[in-house]
């Protein structure tokens, strides 16, 4: 599955490393990444490829660990949702 992952939270050192490490641990391929800092707020969007054997519950559990440790909000949505929204 191809997905869009968003990461937001107060800026601090190690956010990209924590998210990228969790992705690598799960075999997720980061296909593209964009990040910016708005005042003290960090925002990042990742276009990721998930391995076929990765179930959503495992992904949610791992990202919840990163959220708690780094004080972030992480969401993952299937790219199919975005594709459907923009198909006429």
pLDDT (tens digit, 9 = 90+) per residue, 63-79? 999 999 999 999 999 86
Question: In terms of residues, how long is the chain?
Answer: 88
DSSP structural state of residue 23: H
Q: State phi, psi for 51 to the nearest 5 degrees.
A: -65, 150
Q: pLDDT: is 21 or 79 the higher one?
A: 21
Q: Where are the domains of the chain?
A: 2-85
Q: Three-state SS across 49-86?
A: ECCCCCCHHHHHHHHHHHHHHHCEEEEEEEHHHHHHHC
pLDDT band (50, 70, 90) for residue 83: low
Fold of 2-85: Alpha-Beta Plaits (3.30.70)
């Amino acid at each position: 599955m191809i997905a869009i992952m968003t990461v937001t939270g107060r800026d601090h050192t190690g956010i990209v490393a924590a998210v990228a490490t969790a992705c690598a641990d799960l075999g997720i391929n980061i296909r593209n990444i964009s990040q910016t800092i708005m005042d003290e707020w960090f925002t990042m969007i990742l276009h990721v490829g998930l391995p076929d054997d990765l179930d959503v519950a495992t992904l949610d559990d791992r990202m919840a660990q990163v959220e708690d440790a780094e004080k972030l909000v992480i969401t993952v949505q299937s790219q199919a949702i975005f594709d459907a929204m923009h198909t006429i």
